[in-house]
Chain A
Amino acid sequence: MITTDILIIGAGPTGLFTVFEAGLLKLKCHLIDALPQQGGQCTELYPKKPIYDIPAYPEILAGDLTDKLMEQCKQFEPGFTLGERAETIEKQEDGTFIVTTNRGTKHQATVVAIAGGLGSFEPRKPLIHNITDFEDKGVEYMIKEPEMYRDKHVVIAGGGDSALDWSIFLSDVAKSVTLIHRRNEFRGHLDSVEKVQELKNKGKINLITPAEVVGIVGDDKVKAIVVKQAQHIEKEFEVKCEHFIPLFGLSPKLGPIANWGLEIEKNAIKVDNSLDYQTNIPGIFAIGDVNTYPGKLKLILCGFHEATLMCQSAYKIINPGKRYVLKYTTVAGVDGFDGSRKEAPKAVVKAFD
């Protein structure tokens, strides 16, 4: 059981900034995210794209914003459960909550802050009639442990960056890598495209385009996939493989959170915006893109504001009756849970001779 003060669901910009604001109040945070890395949409969808409306940053890349938020909160030692989706929540008699992930990891906290953005990113599954029969039996929609492909025959389908990057990476690990895409053109960073071309020329990646995977062959495990190729004459053939990895991007879904008894409107969680962004269940807050209230704007800067106010309320729930007044970091400095201290340099007091 992982225990913490505030359990944050979603490690995007709003969730990461919550760690900092909570830390100033000496509250410890743990974050759960369905993606294997921090940053949410910013790192999953557009890490190399600029954002222009972060106060004081005329321009910052989404990936860099994530790095800076991680650096800003690191002295408060947040814990992370990554690559797992928050599945159920149970209120305990002592008022705390236990949140369990799809992998069975349990987390206990007094306050739960849902900073889930558009929801958890679920892989988009290609329309192959028997694909669900082979999930975790050779079909994987995400690569979590590249080692499991060592010395295996692997087929990757897709035409974007992740299909390209994983084909490159696995060409060194797997026995064979076949990349299948509906078009002859791929979309990705120039260096990835060039690298795949180079590996294709060396015979380390077997490229099949324009083609589609239309079926999977096997009994209880993937043995081969059926490919339909449409160049010149249409033909169908099998490619032997032990793993088939369709990489067609991710699409966010509100997911299990929708069944937690929270008031939902327009695919978002209704909160009290006049006070602290608490949901209809006391002790559960929703901040950032995942919440809604009159006049809501889905902006990162709004998420930061909501996180800050939410932490004040969380403090009162976790420390009932305990006094506190807002301190400015310039005056009070920042005391990390790791023993570090940041503070403004003292002014020099000295008379001139």
Chain B
Amino acid sequence: MFPHSWKLIMEQDINITIIDRDGVKHQIEAPTDMAMNLMEIVRSYELAPEGTIGICGGMAMCASCQCYILSETELPEMQDDEEAMLSEAFDVKENSRLGCQIQMTPEMEGLEVELAPES
């Protein structure tokens, strides 16, 4: 019998597009098996300077990871704390979400987002 390889059961990376605050488009691969959220993906690829994103660490308490969802991708429903934070944030649009509240899942293949301005 072959030993069970963990790689075989590892979930696939997904392809997503992130437009940074300078308008530059980045096509990147995001792991779906490391419990990473969109804010952490942006940080891991250094698409926004350290200290300007994910300031509260991902508690939906600062809106520094606000982004605009450009694709039709189905996303987890907004929870109360995210909605409350967005109601206090600046530059909020209809399609605003907090990146830290969006966990990467295989269903999000093709997701396209734009980072909101720093505030």
Contact with A along B27-71 (1 / 0, CB 8 A): 000000000000000000000011110011001011010000000
Q: What A residues does B83 contact at CB under 8 A?
A: 185
**Contact indicator A182/B87 (Cβ below 8 Å):** yes
| Partner of A159 from B55, B87, B119 at Cβ < 8 Å | B87
In contact, A45 and B61 (Cβ under 8 angstroms): yes
Find the B residue at minimum CB distance from A290: B51
Report the separation of the CA atoms of residues A58 and B59 in the bound assembly, to the nearest whole angstrom. 20
Q: Does residue A127 face the partner (Cβ distance < 8 Å to B)? A: yes
Chain A residue numbers with a CB within 8 Å of B51 are: 118-119, 252, 254, 266-268
Say whether B78 faces chain A, with CB atoms less than 8 Å apart.
no
Do A158 and B88 touch (CB < 8 A)? yes
Query: Would you call B81 an interface residue if the criterion is a C-beta within 8 Å of the partner chain's C-beta atoms?
Result: yes
Most buried by A among B81, B83, B84: B84
Instruction: Number of A interface residues at 8 Å Cβ cutoff, please give it.
Output: 25
Q: Bin the interface of chain B by size.
A: 10 to 19
Q: Any chain B CB within 8 A of the CB of A316? A: no
| A185/B88 contact (C-beta < 8 A), A251-B64, A266-B50, A267-B51 known | no
The answer to whether B56 and A248 touch across the interface, beta carbons within 8 angstroms, is: no
Chain B residues contacting A127 (CB-CB under 8 Å) are 90
State how many angstroms separate the Cβ of A294 from the closest Cβ of chain B: 14
Instruction: Across the interface, name the chain A residue whose C-beta is closest to B90.
Output: A127
**Given A45-B56, A266-B50, are A249 and B84 neighbors across the interface (CB < 8 Å)?**
no
Judged by a CB distance under 8 angstroms, whether B22 is at the interface is no
CA distance A67 to B80 in the complex (A): 30
17 A/B residue pairs, CB under 8 Å, sorted by A: A45-B59, A45-B61, A45-B62, A46-B56, A46-B61, A49-B59, A159-B87, A160-B84, A183-B87, A185-B80, A186-B84, A187-B85, A249-B88, A251-B62, A251-B119, A252-B51, A254-B51
**Contacts from A to B (Cβ < 8 Å):** 45-46, 49, 118-119, 124, 126-127, 158-160, 181-183, 185-187, 248-249, 251-252, 254, 266-268
